[in-house]
Amino acid sequence: MVQIGNIQLPDFPLLLAPMEDVSDPPFRVVCKANGADLVFTEFISSEGLIRDAIRCRRKLDIFDEERPTGIQLFGGDEARLALAAKIVDVTQPELLDINFGCPVKGIVAQGAGSGVLRDINLMVRLTEACVKSTSLPVTVKTRLGWDDDSKNIEEVAERLQDVGIKALTIHGRTRCQLYKGEADWSLIAKVKNNPRIHIPIFGNGDINSAQKALEYKNRYGVDGIMVGRAAIGYPWIFREIRHYLQTGEQLPAPTVGERVAVCKEQLRKSLQWKGPVAGVYSMRKQYFQYLKGLPGIKDFRTQLVTSTEPEVIYAVLDEILVRYNGFEMERTPIELVNYHENCPL
Element of type H or E holding 222: none
Question: One of 31, 56, 102, 263 is an active-site residue; which one?
Answer: 102
pLDDT score recorded for residue 341: 45
Kindly compute the dihedral angle of the four CA atoms of residues 148, 150, 151, 153, in this order, to the nearest 10 degrees: -160
Report d(CA 146, CA 144) in Å as an integer: 7
Give the pLDDT band (50/70/90) at residue 263. Answer: very high
Q: pLDDT tens for residues 196-237?
A: 999 999 999 999 999 999 999 999 999 999 999 899 989 999
Nearest CA to 220 out of 204, 243, 239 is that of: 204
Judged against a pLDDT cut of 50, whether residue 344 lies above it is answered with no
Q: How many CA atoms lie within 13 A of 113 on its CB side?
A: 21
The pLDDT value recorded for residue 343 is 42
Peptide bond into 13 cis (omega under 30): no
Question: Could you confirm whether 102 is annotated as catalytic?
Answer: yes
Cβ–Cβ under 8 Å, residues 139 and 168: yes
Write out pLDDT tens, residues 52-76.
766 778 889 999 999 999 999 988 8
Give the mean pLDDT of 185-197.
96
Alpha helices per DSSP H over 168-297 = 186-193, 210-220, 237-247, 256-274, 276-283, 287-290
pLDDT digits (tens, 9 = 90+) for 96-135: 999 986 767 777 667 667 677 888 999 999 999 999 999 9
Strand partners, 27: none
